Amino acid sequence: MAVIHRTTLTPTKLELLASWLPSRPWYRGGAGAGGVEPVKAGGFRLDDPQGEVGIEFMVVTDSSGPHPVACLVPLTYRGAPLDGAEHALIGTAEHGVLGRRWVYDGCHDPVLADRLLALVEGRAEAQQQSVSDTPDPEIARSHTGGRCRPTGLTVTDDTEGTDLVLARDTVLRLHRALRPAPDGPLALPGGATGHVAGPWRMPDGTRARGLFAVLHGPPQG
């Protein structure tokens, strides 16, 4: 069960992201004179069954450039460094209850990849972002393929998102540069066998909804 502590984090998550986001190939914002100004606009959490890793999918918006942008930032929080993941470290922060936390781009964390796959396949439940042990009914998921047996984790970023290759025939595609979907049923890309979708708040206060992640393979059977 993910426990949400009402305490301080120094520096804050958004302060860490302000310096990290411009280095990402999928980040479409253009920092103004004051730099990147990320604002938390939505998201959800997943539980680590071992209770060791905090897992959060945060939607942030940024209006510092000429055009407001929204992006999906999966994060993991650990009490010690993750071996071999120095390139994915966003920063460290002091937690008022848990002490020093290592904050990672969660796409490179095998625990997050495992739990996201479990969510798509219906073996895990999305939790509310800011309330302990409370399911988030606004996070939608589907799955029509077969059960994936991961053989590893290879991560590739591009200008739109991040691919998590879990096996020869299985890729989780995370939509990092978010786009609001039209009203009505969500349209999945061709070949998709599952998805995760959810809402977020736009900078103008309106509510948007769109795809967070799409699973490709393995096929049913």
Q: Tens of pLDDT along 193-215? A: 999 999 999 888 899 999 999 99
Is pTM beyond 0.85 here?
Answer: yes
Task: List strands edge to edge, sheet with 140-143.
Answer: 140-143, 192-201, 207-216, 170-175, 161-167, 154-157
pLDDT at 203 (0 to 100)? 84
123/92 Cα distance (integer angstroms):
31
Q: Where are the domains of the chain?
A: 9-216
Predicted confidence band at 26 (pLDDT cuts at 50, 70, 90)? very high
Closest CA to 147 of 217, 59, 203: 217
Closest CA to 78 of 53, 108, 98: 53
CB-based contact 135:126 (threshold 8 Å): yes
pLDDT at 97 (0 to 100)? 76
Q: Which residues contact 123 (CB under 8 A, 6 or more apart)?
A: none
pLDDT at 126 (0 to 100)? 97
pLDDT at 155 (0 to 100)? 98
Q: Tens of pLDDT along 52-89? A: 999 999 999 998 877 889 999 999 999 999 999 999 99
59/212 Cα distance (integer angstroms):
9
Predicted confidence band at 32 (pLDDT cuts at 50, 70, 90)? low
Q: Tens of pLDDT along 100-156? A: 999 999 999 999 999 999 999 999 999 999 887 899 999 999 999 899 999 999 999
pLDDT at 4 (0 to 100)? 67
Predicted confidence band at 170 (pLDDT cuts at 50, 70, 90)? very high
